[in-house]
């Protein structure tokens, strides 16, 4: 995807610019929601936060934008006026029109007068909602609403854009459009952090953080994650008798930490999705540990 491909694993001290969190932990009562998680994103970079439901993605994003105060660790983010945020909600006013939603966001961020009008026009064109400008946001499709929320979040041209699952529940065409918009924003220098449950989206990002129950499972570029997998990955037609096997389409995948495999197994190149599965298997295996990408 876009970006210079700077790794999220670089230490904060190494980054002259950029935003993120460093070793943050968050508790909700006795529940540990985040356990020493780090995430950094540079200018023009897209970082994806991947994880299943309950992994801690939303908590991490909220910590990054400042609505959740961590119990430990550091955060570095721009001033509120320079942050754009799309919550999972997605936070548009359903009883306001498209234009009124954008006008509200412009006013909230202090974009006024002719500048606001021009910006709204430009964004309406970019999200292809010019013809629907007078339509109530509640009458938009899910994809259109997400695009509106994205436009509201970038009306002030933020330095850091944080998106909480912007493509969840959105049809494939709208997902592609959203990615086009996000890519365009990153190309203009915006640092983008987005949570997603879709691995194919994470593959487009310059760097990826994979969370599992509040802990870092994998971190790095998609390529480094795939390259860091220990052992070998095989494909089989029949289910093997290994705890490290899972179905993929019509066939089975087998991860062999020591490289040994049945004779009928075919050696294959792992994808990012395979890397995530193997990362989880490695962690849950007896004596398992996190994979370092």
Q: Which stretch binds other proteins (CB under 8 A): 86-94, 182-190, 227-235, 250-258?
A: 86-94
With beta carbons less than 8 A apart as the criterion, state whether 174 and 141 touch: yes
How many Cα neighbours within 13 Å face the side chain of 188? Answer: 11
- Taking CB under 8 A as the rule, does residue 285 contact other proteins? no
Binding mask 10-29 for other proteins (x = CB under 8 A): ----------------xxxx
Of 38 and 58, CB closest to other proteins? 58
**CA-to-CA distance for 79 and 56, rounded, in angstroms?**
24
**CA-to-CA distance for 109 and 113, rounded, in angstroms?**
12
Q: Which stretch binds other proteins (CB under 8 A): 103-111, 202-210, 224-232, 279-287?
A: 103-111
- Taking CB under 8 A as the rule, does residue 264 contact other proteins? no
Q: Which of 7, 8, 45, 87 binds other proteins (CB under 8 A)?
A: 87
Task: Give the closest residue to 108 by CA, choosing from 76, 140, 80.
Answer: 80
- Taking CB under 8 A as the rule, does residue 115 contact other proteins? no
With beta carbons less than 8 A apart as the criterion, state whether 127 and 162 touch: no
Q: Which of 41, 46, 68, 291 binds other proteins (CB under 8 A)?
A: 68
- Taking CB under 8 A as the rule, does residue 80 contact other proteins? yes
Binding mask 134-153 for other proteins (x = CB under 8 A): --------------------
How would you class 100 by CB atoms within 10 Å of its CB: exposed for 0-12, middle for 13-18, buried for 19 or more?
middle
Q: Which stretch binds other proteins (CB under 8 A): 48-56, 113-121, 247-255, 262-270?
A: 48-56
Residues in the interface with other proteins (CB under 8 A) total 37
Helix, strand or coil, per DSSP, at residue 6: coil
Token couple for 279: 């990362």
- Taking CB under 8 A as the rule, does residue 85 contact other proteins? yes
Of 10 and 76, CB closest to other proteins? 76
- Taking CB under 8 A as the rule, does residue 44 contact other proteins? no
Nearest-approach distance from CB 105 to other proteins, in angstroms: 8
Torsions phi, psi of 62, nearest 5?
A: -65, -35
Nearest-approach distance from CB 210 to other proteins, in angstroms: 15
Nearest-approach distance from CB 259 to other proteins, in angstroms: 38
- Taking CB under 8 A as the rule, does residue 58 contact other proteins? yes
**CA-to-CA distance for 254 and 291, rounded, in angstroms?**
17
267-273 own/partner pairs: CB under 8 Å, 24+ apart:
267/232, 267/233, 267/234, 268/233, 268/234, 268/235, 269/226, 269/233, 270/226, 270/229, 270/233, 271/199, 271/203, 271/226, 272/199, 272/202, 272/203, 272/208, 272/222, 272/225, 272/226, 273/199, 273/200
- Taking CB under 8 A as the rule, does residue 83 contact other proteins? yes
- Taking CB under 8 A as the rule, does residue 57 contact other proteins? yes
Nearest-approach distance from CB 249 to other proteins, in angstroms: 29
Token couple for 223: 């390529």
Q: Which residues form the interface with other proteins (CB under 8 A)?
A: 26-29, 33, 53-59, 62, 65-71, 79-81, 83, 85, 87-94, 105, 108-110
């Amino acid at each position: 995807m876009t970006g210079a491909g700077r790794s999220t694993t670089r230490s904060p001290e190494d980054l002259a610019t950029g935003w993120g969190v460093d070793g943050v932990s968050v508790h909700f009562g006795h529940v540990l929601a985040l356990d020493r998680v780090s995430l950094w994103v540079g200018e023009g970079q897209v970082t994806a936060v991947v994880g299943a439901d309950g992994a801690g993605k939303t908590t991490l994003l909220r910590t990054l934008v400042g609505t959740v105060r961590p119990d430990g660790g550091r955060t570095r983010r721009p001033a509120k006026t320079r942050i754009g945020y799309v919550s999972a909600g997605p936070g548009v006013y359903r009883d306001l029109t498209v234009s009124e939603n954008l006008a509200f966001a412009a006013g909230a961020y202090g974009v006024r007068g002719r500048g606001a009008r021009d910006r709204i026009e430009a964004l309406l064109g970019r999200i292809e909602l010019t013809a629907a400008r007078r339509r109530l946001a509640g009458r938009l499709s899910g994809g259109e609403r997400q695009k509106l929320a994205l436009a509201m979040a970038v009306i002030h041209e933020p330095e850091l854009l944080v998106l909480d699952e912007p493509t969840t529940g959105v049809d494939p065409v709208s997902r592609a459009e959203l990615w086009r918009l996000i890519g365009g924003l990153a190309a203009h220098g915006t640092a983008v952090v987005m949570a997603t449950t879709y691995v194919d989206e994470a593959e487009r990002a310059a760097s990826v953080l994979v969370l599992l129950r509040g802990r870092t499972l994998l971190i790095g570029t998609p390529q480094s994650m795939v390259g860091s997998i220990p052992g070998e990955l095989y494909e089989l037609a029949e289910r093997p008798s290994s705890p490290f096997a899972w179905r993929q389409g019509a066939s089975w995948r087998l991860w062999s930490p020591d490289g040994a495999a049945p004779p009928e197994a075919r050696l294959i190149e792992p994808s990012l999705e395979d890397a995530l599965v193997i990362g989880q298997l490695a962690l849950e295996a007896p004596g398992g540990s996190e994979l370092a990408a």
